[in-house]
Amino acid sequence: MANKMIEVQNIKVNISSINEDDYICISDIAKAKSDKSRAADVIRNWLRNRSTLDF
């Protein structure tokens, strides 16, 4: 398992590679969208969004 970090619009986002598949850390994105205590709420709301489920 290899971990990398990229920067997207001045936000550092971790990427984990597992069995040749890459996964981004949505917690890093959510923390940048709001304060750290609300990151779970941001993720919860993303998962309720129909377009997220369609994706």
Question: Tens-digit pLDDT profile for the chain (55 aa)?
Answer: 567 899 888 889 999 988 888 898 888 888 887 665 688 888 888 888 888 777 6
- CA–CA distance from 35 to each of 17, 25, 29, 30, 42 (Å)? 27, 16, 11, 8, 10
Inter-axis angle of helices 39-48 and 26-33, nearest 10: 110
Cβ atoms of residues 8 and 19 within 8 Å: no
Entry pTM: 0.63
- Rounded CA Rg of the chain: 12
